[in-house]
Structure 1
Amino acid sequence: MRHFAVVGSGPAGFYTAEALAKAYGEQARIDILDRYPVPYGLIRFGVAPDHQSLKAVSKRYDKVAETAGVGFVGNVCVGADVSVDELLDLYDAVILAIGAPHDRKLGIPGEDLPGVIGSAEFVGWYNGHPDFADLDPPLDGTHAAVIGNGNVALDVARILSKTREEFHGSDIVGHALEALEGSAIKTITILGRRGPHQIAMTPKELGELGHLEAALPLVDLKDFPPHEADDALDPGQRKSVTILRDFNDIRANRPKSMIFDFFAKPLRIEGDGHAERLIVEKTELDEKGGARGTGETYDVPASLIVSCIGYSTPPIAGVPYDDRGGKFLNESGRIAERLYAVGWARRGPTGTIGTNRPDGYEVAEAIAAAMPATSSGDRAGGEGLKRLLSERGVKPTDFADWRRIEAAEEAAARTGSPREKMVRVEHWLRTLGW
């Protein structure tokens, strides 16, 4: 029998567990560990609440969790409750799938002012992440700025723009819904250092902006090269640029504006005790397609500034780390003997949810090659972990516990919502009678 520990219950973790279960069948026991009592990671805390079709991938993960030999071990923090070295003593291989939950810094003066928030914090706030339930973003001003030109920036801008009725069918948490309904924000500026041809926004997410009830997306056609330049783009990027151009043709009177400010490099954030404005430098493309400053600066008013410029994986004691890449040092997923990384912890914060599937399968294949299913080990695995956690007073949750929490959240749902998420660890545990 082989024993494997997958640390992290987001997409990368579940795809890896799925691949290991297929490779080993009844010859393996696979434990999926998570620091929270509930599973799904990015699916629960990162995917926008109004994108329920994306969240539906969790049904596939349910099937993995219900596979014989696969277990969920929640409410266990690797690095605090148990070390990686201890897991390696207990399991034949340990796979780190902890994602990249930390915001990257802007690196400009003023980013520590109140009102400047990272996207992990803001997204976590409206998605019910326990670390950010008390965030209380300032929504009393009329101007907000979103820094970044990827889908996360679109999510943030869209959530800030929607009416209460447009959240029907979503699982946005109640405290965020109430706060957003009372928001005074009327203008949202989305800033990108380069131009429309360099965005990392996908057509589906961009297209949604044209159908918002209360917000009008605005572009300046002077930022676009001639139409002929679109021919050099891949089909998806070309479609995205076309959607951006078409925003200029929307004729509607809506109370909110969503301004795409391209070729804009934030220099500093200013304000008297809190964020009030961004000082931005106009840029242009250099010979390699990067952004270079022109020396021309201007102000963008904003009392709320959300930075969406990427994420990093938190270091874990004893695990080699790439500070520049914000991920674990690895070679094709292998960190060290019997220690692996998958997903964003391996690659950095790139790709979609589906990108994690081939990534997890590749690492599982490497493990299976090093430890064939016909071989066996003598490590203690999950039973040994339970004994160790019990000695330390740590009480883990399992998948049956999650099902009880899920049922309670669904029973508490407001009309039109699939669930009302609990946003504190103690609420989850209280539901279990702990």
Structure 2
Amino acid sequence: MKRFLIITGCLLASALVQAGETSGRWVATWATSQQLTEPHNLPPAPGFAEATVRQKLRVSIGGEQFRVRFSNEFGNGPVTFESVHVALADGFADAKIQAGTSRALTFRGATAVTLPPGANVISDPVDAPLAPMADLAITLVTKGAPSDVTGHPGSRTTSYFAYGQVAPGAEDLSDAVRTDHWYFVASIDVLTSQPAAAVAILGDSITDGRGSTTNGNDRWPDILSQRLRANPATAQVAVLNHGVGGGRVLRDGLGVSALRRFDRDVLAQPGVKWLVILEGVNDLGTAAPENAAQTAQDLIAAYDQMITRAHDHGLKVYGATIMPLGGFTMYDVPEREAARQTVNAWIRTGGRFDAVIDFDAVARDPANPARLSAATDGGDHLHLSAEGYKIIAGSIDLGLFEAGGCECDKKGR
């Protein structure tokens, strides 16, 4: 068996080396939360009929081998991938991949795989090293898809659909149809002998990156990943972005609630050691004003439950305060602002989180704390700008993710 070397920003090494047996553990290096794709977020016609679908993404940590997970969780019928190829992406501006880097994924040795409704599948390991921060292109060949499609609408990354006789390993899909959504790709794991671990970030559209740059990889978890990679003490900490646009903690919204997806998006991810929770503004914002105070208490109870469940699995849990909603027309009423203050006070002083990441203090306007500052406001007074995401990500103490975690841990973990 032979293996090839993937190096970000460099051409594939021409020399192939004999693969030896690799020992280590699997750690997730990239993930995205799966949702039922709304009709307006489906690809243009003919969609998945006789399609070659290329999707791009950037991982966090590297490893000696890697594998890809696909999901048909919300499908109302099976989906078949006639073949799946993975390659180094040649940037994000178009459908190009780096020459000579494409290879087929297999599933128990087969190049085709069918996912029944509700099922996930993990590819066979790719016997090749994957570099930190590598840009990957995953190309699916589909004959069709169920009417209920599993995906992640808020990819902030362009996917490419080509039709006709197109080789999945083609270096470019020059006539491809573009759409800014991901479909079926759920996560990527790396096998590493390094002392690696992952932080899962549970959030809503702010974590999902609304207001960031399409194909720019400048969501706040992306910036955090860059900072972790640049710090030797945290270079082996992966970042998993489980933000869902419109997501809520207590009730389903555009995606399932945080309470419902908690096991899937946090506990089931290999190698997770830390959890950051930044979610709740949509619960408060969609609560009737007269119910806002009770919603705050329900949110606190939900956080408490998630902390308990995470601690049972040995995770440290960091609470991020909810940032201002003042000026966002649909949410801005005094009762909701009072509820936000109640929730943030509990996050800061309740003693249940292992540490607090005070995004509210960083992002708010000092002269009007109920509103985002001009430096962070993305324009709608709820979501942040690309610069705002950089500011909040830059405020995080990387020491929280060093060996041993935070000094505040009183529970022996």
TM norm. shorter chain > 0.5: no
> Which protein shows a greater Rg?
1
Normalised TM-score (structure 1): 0.23
Normalised TM-score (structure 2): 0.24
Which one has a larger percent helix, Structure 1 or Structure 2?
A: 1
Which one has a larger percent strand, Structure 1 or Structure 2?
A: 2
Q: Which has the higher contact order (CA 8 A, sep 6+)?
A: 1
